Structures are given as structure tokens and as C-alpha cells.
Amino acid sequence: MALAKEIMGISVVEKSSLISSSKVFLNPNFYQKENQLCVDRQFQGRRSLRTRRLLRQSPMAAISENLIKVVPEKAVKFKVRAVVTVRNKNKEDLKETIVKHLDAFTDKFGRNVALELISTDIDPNTKGPKKSNQAVLKDWSKKSNLKTERVNYTAEFVVDSNFGTPGAITVTNKHQQEFFLESITIEGFACGPVHFPCNSWVQSKKDHPGKRIFFSNQPYLPNETPAGLKLLRERELRDLRGDGTGARKLSDRVYDYDIYNDLGNPDKGIDLARPKLGGSNNVPYPRRCRTGRAPTDTDMSAESRVEKPKPLYVPRDEQFEESKMNAFRTGRLKAVLHNLIPSLMASISTNNHDFKGFSDIDNLYSKGLLLKLGLQDEMLKKLPLPKVVSSIQEGDLLKYDTPKILSKDRFAWLRDDEFARQAIAGVNPVNIERLQAFPPVSKLDPEIYGTQESALKEEHILGHLNGMTVQEALDANRLYIVDYHDVYLPFLDRINALDGRKAYATRTMFFLSDLGTLKPVAIELSLPQTGPSSRSKRVVTPPVDATGNWMWQLAKAHVCSNDAGVHQLVNHWLRTHACLEPFILAAHRQLSAMHPIYKLLDPHMRYTLEINALARQSLISADGVIEACFTPGRYCMEMSAAAYKNFWRFDLEGLPADLIRRGMAVPDPTQPHGLKLLIEDYPYAADGLMIWAAVEGWVRSYVNHYYPDSARVCNDRELQAWYAESINVGHADLRNEEWWPTLATPEDLISILTTLIWLASAQHASLNFGQYPYGGYVPNRPPLMRRLIPDENDPEYAVFHADPQKYFFSALPSLLQATKFMAVVDTLSTHSPDEEYLGDRHQQSTWTGDTEIVEAFYDFSSEIRRIEKEIDERNADTTLRNRCGAGVLPYELLAPSSGPGVTCRGVPNSVSI
């Protein structure tokens, strides 16, 4: 409480040494009046009973009541000080160093950084907000050579005793170079320190002539905005929206929308043209951040490409900070090296495209690609890549880390129980459903795709149900399914026509044992019908002989390939990355930085626009990593758009609603989270529900503080504009769907915000940071398959029968495909050193000026730490066999904290990788 009171300025403030006027220094009445004015304005319109009690108990309040009628004869001028924290770059290029020294020199002659304080009050003479004199940062030239991460500068303002409370500050950068402004603290007002969390790049006046506006940490709903800040609040939002025209510069801070029309590159050939995603009912998609680039030469509706290493536009403050960018570049360097050597290998010998055996894969971790290929330093030195050569010679950049799936049992991936366990505790635990009818039924249009009856029969699974009939197993909630039939079947003809791609539409059935573990009982493999009597479906069951064992392993590999595609294109990219982007764009465009909901969402929006832009540039683009490494190939993003059209519903994206939709839980008010899991040891759901409840509790405290009734929600024009724009513009292709939640009550707002925070933090973490630990060993989770499973009438059957292991590896990705995939998911699974985890936030004590909210956040942080301890205890509980046992990986993907690197744990606040 003492810390919170200090932040809010409730405690009695000592007389500041900065106040130079002897009249002020000797006049106690001045301090009492100013204290009362500051406190009154800080709490205007939102005095909870608890806060009023605090004010009554403090000595300051008691003295103020006695002296409130004492009015100074005239306004008295005094000085206040600004402490400005600027963050330095760790590394500068030559141009930046030269400009930095030039700025230090010219700063002495008036080309400086100037500040101006703005009051929350209106000046009766000018009818505008009260303003201080302009003050410049001191000692810029003297401190320009400091190598510390942060540098503090000061500036002094002269204000009078009628100035009121500072609510905003403007910054003018007269230097040549931008700088990162972390925070400003104003000291010397009787109400105590006033904090301005900035965390923004301030551009040079020559690039952006207008003054930058920063608001104090005191939140205000729109209708409570102090008179002196109203116009500034509106102006700042107008600047962030822009006018929707022109190409954006990298230094801009403009947030706008566009469709996904920049994934293809038709100017390089028809093979690199791709459909536009979004803007039509046939191919709907969420909107992305507009860049305004010129169209391509061959297709006026397609936006021209910016190829790496040139950066794509995102608003300047959305770009990675230096430590994050350095970590990402290191990962990119590793990816380049890992792709370079296999490419050289492929060019040296045409016989080295496939893995020959398990030892070839093991060598990627033990010996590394360089030793494996026997390439000489002389050969590498001939390449125009001196930095790459030095990296090869100095470190282990070409050696892959051993994936976690191999850490406890090298052969775990071969076991059926591990194959099943990963459906509820692996990197994609969100597709398993309770089977509610047997056989399963397709929802595809039979007029387009023909009769879609399942080939699964009772005799296929009856011997694996512990003596139960199928109906008894259904009634006892013992049958579960991972069904990719309807996702893949519409694309199979086109996928299987691609070189080096072969796929089925799979269904996998599981039986829940008495121990609470799952076992696979049947795999259905479907192909499109080529005629009325064509055999388009087959069922593979657990093996009883050697031939059946290899058939079963191939069938499981095809299931994993299906699973990898849906995981990456639908659950990971679409549901957490792409579908959140419109809400983030709308938040910046419609919610002022002083809006309490913006302050709540701010840490959960960090870096998302930048990582999405990087994905458009090199991952999901034509011939990018996703197309190269995943089964659907050039149809990857069309499959993602089909899932958006047919599957995605915002009202079912929250964890409880999703579990109920999939039949994995039923409502039960007697349970801690109001749900009963039908598989009690379902690690993703069990841990996720704890985090969901913690986030919901935090959001509920926050929302109820600002919105005690529905009228406040309905009358908040910024809030309503944010939600309406997120739907009507950001998700325009689905805006008429009836399932969109309304926003009319505090409970509506709690539900919407909890869902968004869940998706950005825990849901994304559960789907992202296990990619290399589970997928880095390609046989465990092949991202694509190159051969179908032969039957006895196929010409390939003899090859399979003669050497099943060789056939198995020829069906897996090639060496080049596998190593490219491994390098990319290694980067995606890596936490950067500046990661901000759930329960943490930048400037933790000063991000808001509301005492009760600061306290509530500390309570939330404590609950997250408690959850982490409980997850650790669960992972040591031998009765929970899906997360504890010989050779079983603990489920840590929802453990909130993590160190940097690939850890297979940690829940960052935002979608940042």
C-alpha cells in the first residue's frame, strides 16, 4: 500500500528542493491547496469507498479540510523538474554513430529536445489547456558518449500555483536522429511525482514536424477526460489513424487495414501468384496492417513485395526492440546456415536427398551438418559470406540442439501411448474431440465431394475397447477422435498433384483407458473418389505382425503430417496471429493511450504486428518456408482461409467454450472452474483452466473498477468504436455472422477481454513454444509426407516389402526440407531475452495511476506464481500418467515463466514470435 500511495501521490509530499521561490517555500497554505487540487483531480469521477477511506485516514486530507478555504492572494511561480529516461542502442552502425555525434554538437546551439507541460485544466485567458514554458533537456552533449543502456536527462519548467495537475507533455526532437523515450517523471508538484510511461520512438522534427504527445499514467474514460486534455486526446487518435492513403514510411505511426494481397509475387512468374485473402465471401480472411505499397506490374490488385532483408512497414513503435531483434537475427542466421549446407549437399550429389536411416538424423544433433558433409574450410571460404564462415568456425551454429522429445527416451516417438499422449499434451492439443456418434460423419457437401460415409466399422475397433461395445464406450465417454477429414479432403487432388507431396485426409480414433491414458485404436485414410467404385478409403489398425507394424508407422506419420499442417495454418497462425491483428489495429485507432482498456491490453499487443509482417514476408508467402515444408504446399493459405470461413468463431475461442464445443468438458458449477473435464488428466486443459480463471479474475477486477454498470459500457464511445471496428472492418468478411458477442454489459466486456488476453498469451504459448522440442525430431512429427502407403496391388509394394525402413524414410521430408523446417521452428520456439511473461509488465508500479488497479495486478501476479508451483507439483505426480512417468515429458508449455532460448515452457504476454 505504501508504494501504491506514493505512486498516486496520496501521501504528504515533502517540500521540494526544486521550488526556488521563497514565497512558495515559506507559504504552507500553497502546499495544502495544491495537495487538495491534485488529489481531487486524480480521483475525479471514480472514488471508490476504499479510496475515500484512504483519503480520510491520511494526514494530508485532514489538514486540507481545515485549510481548504485559504486562497493565496495571487499565483506564485515555482520550478518543477522532469527526469527523462532515454534508452540507448547497444550497437550502432557507422552512420548512426556519426549522426549521434553531430546531434550532440548541434544540441549546444539550439537543435535540442524540447518539452512542454500541459495541464488538465483550461486556461481562462486562451480557452486552451494551460501550458508551461518550453524546457530543453540538459547535458545531452555531455552524456552522448555514455554506453549505459539507459540515460537520464533533466529539464526544468516554470509553472504557477494555478497550473493544476500535469496531464500531458509534448516532446519536440530537433536532432537529426530518432531516440527511444522510455519514461518521463515530473517532480516538484505538491501532489507528488507524476509519471508518463512513454515507450516510444520520437522522430526528428524534419521527418515528423508535429509535436509528440504523451499522457500521464492516470487513466480516463472518454467522458471523464479533463477539459485540458480533450482536444489532445482526439488529435492523437486522428494522427494514429492516418487518412488511408499513400505508402507508409518506416518512421510512421499509422495503423490501418488491408487484405492479404501481398503473399504472391506474380511479377516473377505465374507459379508465384497467389489468391488474395480477404475482401470476398469465397476467400474470407482477417485484415492485416496496411503498408500502402505500389501494386505489382502484372496484377494491379496485388501489392508489390518487399523481400528480406529489407523491412516491411509496421508502425514504428510496433517494431522489435534491439534485444528482440538481435535474438531474431541470430535465429535467422542459424536458419540460413542450416539451409545453406543442405543446399550445397544437394548440388554436390543427387544421391543425398533422403535420410538413409536414423543415424543420419542423429548426426544432425551429435556431429552437425558441417562434419556430416565433410565440407572443407577452403570450399566455404569461396562463398561470398565472410560473416557466415566466421560463425561456422567459431561456434556450433550448424549443429542442431537435441529436441526435448529425445531427452528422456530416444524411442518414445515410436510408442502408441506417446503418439496418443501428444494429442492432449503435445504442441497441438486443441483438435481432439469426444466422439459422440459412430461412425463419424462428414459435414462436406455431398453434391460436391460425393458420399462421405466413414470406412470405420465396429469390427475395426471392437477388440481394443477393453471388452466394451462401441455404444458402451460412447456412453461412458471413452471414445475420442482427431478428425482432419473435412479440412484436407477438398484440397487433396491439388496437393497430391504437387511434386513430392502425398497426403490423405485422416481420422484417428482413441480409447480412454482405466488409467486415464489414451491409446489409438484405428486410423482412417481417405482420398477423393475417382469413380463410383474406386477405393478411396482404408482403415489401418494397431499391428499384429511385422508388415502391419510398418504400415501402422506410416499411417501414424500421415496423421502427424495432417496434424502439423492444421496446427501451423489454423490453430497457430490463423487463430492466434492473424485473428488478433484486427483487434490490435482497432485498439490503436480507437482507444486513447489514456483509456483504461488500452492500458489493460497494451502488454498483450506487443510485437504482434511485427512478427505477423515478418511471417508475410518469408513464412506464409509464395515459396516461403510454410509452403516449402508443409504438406499443403502452395495451397497452405487457402486452407487457412477455408478454416476461417468454416470453423472460426470468436464466441468459441475462449478455453471453456472451446472445451465444451469439442465435447472435452461439460458445464458443472460444483467444479473449481465451472467445468468438468471428461479426461481428467488432460494437461493442456487442466493447466489452461487455471490460467483462464486467473486472467478472468484480473479482468473482472479491472473492468468492474471502471464500469460498475452497463450504462458506462454502452456510453463509452471509444470502447464501442474499438469493438465495432474490430468486427466490421478488421473481420469484415464475417461481420454479419450472428455469433459475434454483443458489448452492452460489464460481463460482456469481461468475456471479450479475457478471450483476447487468453489467445495472445496462454493459447499462443501452448501452440508455439513446443514446436522444436516436439517437431525438431522429424520422424516424431513430419511436416509433410512424400509417399502414400502402398497396398498389395501397387507397384511400390515390393519396394516397401523389401526394405520398409528405406521406404519409411523416403516418405518423410527430404534432408533439405527437414533441416529447413527444423531451423525455422527452432527460431519460432525461442524466447528472447526481453520477453515479458504473464503476470509481469513493463514499469510494473507506474503503468497506471490507479492505486486499486496496481494492487489488483500484484494479486494477479501472485496468482500466476501460485499456478506455476501447482503445475510443477502436477508434473511430479505419478498418478498423472500423461505428464509424469518413465520417459514421459512433463507438460510445461503453460508454466508461466521461462529463461531465454528454447525451453518448452513460458507464457509471454503477447504473440511475439
Write out the three cell numbers for 16: 521540494
Of 577, 595, 673, 831, which is the active-site residue?
Answer: 577
The DSSP secondary-structure symbol of 623 reads T
Nearest Cα to Cα of residue 47 among 716, 705, 700? 705
Please indicate whether residue 338 is annotated as part of the active site.
no
Query: How would you label 317-355 residue by residue, b for 16+ Cβ within 10 Å and e otherwise?
Result: bbbbbeebebbbeebbbbbebbbbbbeebeeeeeebebb
Between CA 5 and CA 60 the distance in angstroms is 12
Between CA 504 and CA 555 the distance in angstroms is 9
Nearest Cα to Cα of residue 79 among 194, 156, 163, 168? 156
CB contact at 8 A, 263 and 627 = no
Peptide bond into 669 cis (omega under 30): no
Distance of CA 140 to the CA centre of its chain: 37
Say how many C-beta atoms besides its own lie within 10 A of residue 49's C-beta: 7
Please indicate whether residue 405 is annotated as part of the active site.
no
Strand ranges for 123-245 from DSSP E? 129-136, 150-160, 166-173, 179-187, 194-202, 212-215
Of 460, 485, 558, 572, which is the active-site residue?
Answer: 572
Please indicate whether residue 731 is annotated as part of the active site.
no
Amino acid at 845: S
Say how many C-beta atoms besides its own lie within 10 A of residue 807's C-beta: 19
CB contact at 8 A, 742 and 748 = yes
Distance of CA 144 to the CA centre of its chain: 35
Of 597, 611, 620, 913, which is the active-site residue?
Answer: 913
Distance in angstroms between the alpha carbons of the first and the last residue of the chain: 36
Between CA 612 and CA 260 the distance in angstroms is 11
Amino acid at 649: R
Of 169, 764, 831, 875, which is the active-site residue?
Answer: 764
User: In sequence order, which residues have a C-beta less than 8 Å from that of residue 236 and are 6 or more positions away?
Assistant: 213, 215, 592, 593
Between CA 722 and CA 597 the distance in angstroms is 10
Report the chain's C-alpha Rg in angstroms: 30
Between CA 464 and CA 484 the distance in angstroms is 22
Please indicate whether residue 549 is annotated as part of the active site.
no
Please indicate whether residue 913 is annotated as part of the active site.
yes
Nearest Cα to Cα of residue 401 among 772, 139, 124? 772
CA-to-CA dists, residue 204 to 173, 185, 320, 427, angstroms: 5, 22, 20, 45
Q: Any idea of the CA torsion for 342, 344, 349, 354, to the nearest 10 degrees? A: 10
Of 173, 217, 768, 882, which is the active-site residue?
Answer: 768
DSSP for 700-753, written as a single string: HHHHHHH-SSHHHHHH-HHHHHHHHHIIIIITGGGTT-TTSPP--SHHHHHHHH
Residues that are catalytic: 572, 577, 764, 768, 913
